[in-house]
Amino acid sequence: MQPQSLKSSVVLLFAVACGLAVGNVYYAQPLLDAMAEAFAMSPATIGIVITLTQIGYGIGLVLLVPLGDLLNRRRLIVTQTLLSAAALLLIALAPSSVWLLLGMTLTGLLAVVTQVLVAYAATLALPAQRGRVVGVVTSGIVVGILLARTVAGAMADLAGWRAIYMLSAGLTLLMALLLLRVLPKDESAQPASGYGALITSVFSLFRQEPVLRQRAILALLTFASAMVLWTPMVLPLAAPPLSLSHSEIGLFGLAGAAGALAAARAGHLADRGLGQWVSGLSLLLMLASWLPIALTQSSLWALLLGVITLDLGLQAVHVTSQSMIYSVRPEAQSRLTAGYMLFYSIGSAVGSLISTALYAWAGWTGVCLLGAGINAIALGYWWLTLNSGAPQRCANQAG
């Protein structure tokens, strides 16, 4: 299908669908202590819930997202959304930790429909508006993540941790029907290619496109640091002396709302060729955020400031990276998305796994030192690749 000027209502639908799909991955974060109690899992190992979700997400990125360059995207998106509803029901009804972990893995696997939607929106948009469209759709993802944490915490207090998964299953089913009705039906055939060659080409793109390599590494580092914050954060907040409820903990998800606003603006700046400098400033913000975050147990206001700053920087880097990558190969945007987001998923999984174990060993101070260290490495890597030329050329092409 040829690029076109997308209606605001269609862009909004993409954003809402992405937000709902990605929210399924993040509901568990403020509920880890309740899940640990329900299934007799220790605080040091409960992080495996998030890790398996991210592993499923990584597998889906490699095996499912590239199909957007081969199959009819409307059919692919609707099918994945329907299967997601089934996976959410499995979590809601899980009788044991085995079924819980299976449901989480499947939910992560199918949540990659978000990336199929982002790539599809970028394909449909005119080149001059691609960064803005990607920014708006990504804003939907950010809002979905934030609301997931907040709503999950509130519903856990009202009706138990399983209630949010039951609700999301119903909303996901409704979204599948809406997408079936609204998504374009006259999509042109995708280039002929075998599935094996399609998957192999994802890794070939890393060899051929420097901007993909560099932005994927930044994704790995930045999302690892973000999960170092979000995964274990429920543990000190729920424990004495703070002893916050799930609803109160979930409200901290809303503190990152500035990230949703930054996302669309960052895409606009990337369209103007400023992607590299937006990235550098955003990485500095993320690094600085760990100082107030370290004061969490003595000041919740400091945590609030740190969460806002970290999420703002994270989403600005993320949107800028996507805008720059999508300008490289318009015919391979699903595969570019798969490659880039695979590193995002690896970083998220590693950050989730090590952060809860580190919290059990070194406390909140150890968690903050780890997060700041990862962000410092990301900033150093950005500086080393700043003059390589490839990212800036791609950003200029986008304008």
Which residues are registered as beta bridge partners of 4?
Answer: 125
Sign of the CA dihedral running 321, 350, 240, 372: negative
User: Is residue 189 a part of any domain in this protein?
Assistant: no
For 219-261, write each residue's pLDDT tens digit.
999 999 998 998 888 788 877 788 787 777 767 767 666 666 6
Distance CA 85, CA 269 (A): 36
CATH code where residue 152 lies: 1.20.1250.20
User: Is residue 219 a part of any domain in this protein?
Assistant: yes
Six-digit token pair at 46? 């409960």
User: Is residue 1 a part of any domain in this protein?
Assistant: no
Mean pLDDT value across residues 85-93: 94
Six-digit token pair at 159? 């009706």
Count CA within 13 A, CB hemisphere, residue 392.
Answer: 10
> DSSP of 79-140, one letter per residue?
HHHHHHHHHHHHHHT--SHHHHHHHHHHHHHHTTHHHHHHHHHHHHB-GGGHHHHHHHHHHH
Distance CA 65, CA 20 (A): 17
User: Is residue 59 a part of any domain in this protein?
Assistant: yes
User: Is residue 2 a part of any domain in this protein?
Assistant: no
Distance CA 94, CA 115 (A): 27
Six-digit token pair at 156? 């856990």
Mean pLDDT, the chain, integer: 83
Distance CA 268, CA 351 (A): 30
User: Is residue 192 a part of any domain in this protein?
Assistant: no
Q: How confident is the model at residue 394 (pLDDT cuts 50, 70, 90)?
A: very low
User: Is residue 3 a part of any domain in this protein?
Assistant: no
The domain of 268 spans: 8-182+199-398
Mean pLDDT value across residues 43-66: 83
- Residue 373's pLDDT is 96
User: How distant is the alpha carbon of residue 236 from its chain centre?
Assistant: 24
Calculate the alpha carbon distances from 123 to 3, 63, 82 in Å.
Answer: 6, 20, 23
For residue 399, pLDDT beyond 70: no
Phi, psi torsion values for 245, nearest 5 degrees: -80, 170
User: Is residue 275 a part of any domain in this protein?
Assistant: yes
Domain count, the chain: 1
For 264-319, write each residue's pLDDT tens digit.
677 667 667 777 888 999 999 999 999 999 998 888 889 888 988 898 898 888 88
pTM listed for this prediction: 0.73
